[in-house]
Amino acid sequence: MRKNFVVIASLAFTALFVGFGIVAPEKLGDVASYILFTFIGEYFGWFYMFVALFFVVTCLFVAFSKYGNIRLGKDTDRPQFNTFTWIAMLYSCGLAISLFFWGVAEPVLMYLEPPYGDGGTKESAEVAMQYTFFHWGVHSWGTYAIIGLIMAYFQYRKNTPPLINHTLQPLLGKRAFGAIGKFINILAIFAVISGISTSLGLGVNQMGAGFEYQYGIANNTVNNIILIVILTIIFTASASSGIERGIKWLSNINIIIALIILAAVFSFGPTVKVLEILFTSTGNYLNNFIDMSFHLEPFLNDYSWQAGWDFFYWGWAISFGVFVGLFFARISKGRTIREFILGAMIVPTIATMIWYGTFGGTALYNIINLGNTELSNRILENMDTALFYFLELFPASPILILMTFISLIIFFVTSADSTVYVLGMYSEESTNPSNRSKILWAMVIAGVAIALHLTGGLTPLQTVSAAAGLPFSIVILAMTISFFKSLRRETMVVDHVSKEEVAYNSEENKAEIKKKSS
């Protein structure tokens, strides 16, 4: 009954927002924009910046402290997946289509409208790359990693169900299983459903526009709904086959395809210039890391730029991180805390910087050095098709575009089937949910995506999800405190046992020496 209550309540909560989005999408958009751009921008922007940096610092501290050697599971447990497969699944789940959608668009948009200074200059191009690394670097991955780490620690080290409220037990005691805990679980399921539904719907918009642009297939409502249905069938089948089959192999295949596309853009593009852009942008990112992490505009009345970029990204990372973190935890049993942080935060950050430096840097080079202003115009007019125009600039572009479509589809599938798996875990309180549960959640996600797609409520719900990062950030802070309390208790027990062993051995040695001397 308790499980059913959380599931039913979360579905009702989701239906409320979806219904609002269907009946009055513009009103939902106005409310969401007010919350994110006005309320959070003016009163809690500093808090978003603080928690994003706090999660990064916490991850690094835990990784390189005495806690880093603690294994996520029993001391005898070892990883279920090899390192390449593990990172491939982390990456496929954590980024999905964002690599393609924003890889070209974001640097160009910030080049045209930077956070400070004049747009459309060489200086603004450097700032654009610097901030792109900032948005897709350790702050985002650190948010995913801290949630995943805490969930994995309690699931496999403390043998708790895969529910967020159980991670709060050391801090809240029995209250973690009462009304507070239930409400947190309800919000978690809402965050997961709204996040993946908007990603699915917006992603289908891009794919539909791309199919029309490249192959002449009409980008209309009927075809987009058909595409959602087809993708739903695929990711349901993948999730039903289990992590060891569908999700694992699709992630491996997709990373290889993405690497081939990356290598092609790097090789056929301005290779030396891309290396220079990567080198310079990495230096600017590291050199200005603290400044960007603490940057606010207290003497300006307009927070629209920062709310639309920094605050939106941190809020979205927190909300989306609920699902990403749960999946990270599921596939990380047997790894040490240090290994988890390096694999879930540092390695993906480096890989993402290489990707954005290559795609974004090449796009900026084409605009600034080659005078291809058509590319920037395409991005401003229709970001859904700008990527495909960009790929047309390279040799063998039909093959590159076809591979990109395949990769986009697989990214959709791996992200969605991971979500279905996580929702099944949450509803059944098991790390191995039944196929019946996965199919149910797949139908819910598809239904939400179709309903919002028909009414234009996808973007407003995405903004709501970003705004939902505010209450969830408080939950994650509480989870972090609870995590440290549990770590401290564990290490105190270990230290106490070790001291007793030393004392026992010392007494035993003294007795042996005394016996020999007599």
More confident residue, 12 or 465: 12
How far apart, in whole angstroms, are the C-alpha atoms of residue 239 and residue 415?
10
How far apart, in whole angstroms, are the C-alpha atoms of residue 446 and residue 196?
10
Q: Residue 10's pLDDT band (boundaries 50, 70, 90)?
A: confident
- Which residues are paired to 336 by β-bridges? 71
Total length of the chain: 518
Kindly state the average pLDDT of the residues 299-326.
Answer: 86
pLDDT at 215 over 80: yes
**pLDDT value for 100:** 84
Spatial CA neighbour of 183 closest among 419, 5, 448: 5
**pLDDT value for 93:** 77
Q: Are 452 and 458 in contact (CB under 8 A)?
A: yes
Query: What is the C-alpha end-to-end distance of the chain, expressed in Å?
Result: 71
Q: What is the pLDDT of residues 223-282, one digit of tens each?
A: 988 998 898 898 888 888 877 777 788 888 989 999 999 999 999 999 999 999 999 999
**pLDDT value for 514:** 59
Kindly state the average pLDDT of the residues 437-466.
Answer: 79
More confident residue, 446 or 158: 158
Q: What is the DSSP string of 382-431?
A: -HHHHHHHHHTTSTTHHHHHHHHHHHHHHHHHHHHHHHHHHHHHHHHTSS
**pLDDT value for 512:** 56
Question: What does the DSSP 8-state code read for residue 296?
Answer: -
More confident residue, 452 or 370: 370
**pLDDT value for 152:** 95
How far apart, in whole angstroms, are the C-alpha atoms of residue 2 and residue 338?
36
How far apart, in whole angstroms, are the C-alpha atoms of residue 185 and residue 151?
13
- Which residues are paired to 71 by β-bridges? 336
| 85, part of any domain | yes
Spatial CA neighbour of 104 closest among 346, 387, 475: 387
Kindly state the average pLDDT of the residues 73-81.
Answer: 92
**pLDDT value for 503:** 47
Kindly state the average pLDDT of the residues 417-423.
Answer: 84
The residue whose two tokens read 């795609």 is 359
Q: Residue 517's pLDDT band (boundaries 50, 70, 90)?
A: low
**pLDDT value for 501:** 47
| 516, part of any domain | no
| 506, part of any domain | no
How far apart, in whole angstroms, are the C-alpha atoms of residue 164 and residue 419?
15
| 222, part of any domain | yes
User: Could you tell me where the DSSP H helices lie in 67-137?
Assistant: 83-95, 98-112, 122-136
- The first and second tokens of residue 208, run together, are 């539909």
pLDDT at 66 over 70: yes
| 498, part of any domain | no
More confident residue, 7 or 48: 48
The residue whose two tokens read 């990270």 is 328
How far apart, in whole angstroms, are the C-alpha atoms of residue 496 and residue 490?
10
Structural domains of the chain, count: 1
Spatial CA neighbour of 197 closest among 330, 21, 354: 21
Kindly state the average pLDDT of the residues 306-317.
Answer: 90
Residues of the domain holding 33? 2-493
| 514, part of any domain | no
**pLDDT value for 142:** 96
Kindly state the average pLDDT of the residues 116-145.
Answer: 95
**pLDDT value for 504:** 45
- The CATH number covering residue 471 comes to 1.20.1740
Spatial CA neighbour of 94 closest among 404, 410, 327: 327
Spatial CA neighbour of 170 closest among 479, 409, 440, 442: 479
pLDDT at 341 over 60: yes
pLDDT at 150 over 90: yes
pLDDT at 203 over 70: yes
Q: What is the pLDDT of residues 14-34, one digit of tens each?
A: 788 778 777 887 787 788 778
Amino acid at 472: F
| 505, part of any domain | no
How far apart, in whole angstroms, are the C-alpha atoms of residue 282 and residue 138?
13
| 363, part of any domain | yes
**pLDDT value for 23:** 81
pLDDT at 421 over 90: no
pLDDT at 52 over 80: yes
**pLDDT value for 104:** 93
pLDDT at 309 over 70: yes
In angstroms, the Cα distances linking 33 to 191, 458, 460 are 17, 13, 8
How far apart, in whole angstroms, are the C-alpha atoms of residue 239 and residue 417?
5
Q: Are 165 and 182 in contact (CB under 8 A)?
A: yes
Q: Are 428 and 437 in contact (CB under 8 A)?
A: yes
- Angle between helical axes of 469-517 and 312-330 (0-180°, round to 10): 40
Kindly state the average pLDDT of the residues 386-395.
Answer: 93
**pLDDT value for 486:** 94
Q: Residue 299's pLDDT band (boundaries 50, 70, 90)?
A: confident
How far apart, in whole angstroms, are the C-alpha atoms of residue 69 and residue 67?
6
- The first and second tokens of residue 73, run together, are 């599971």
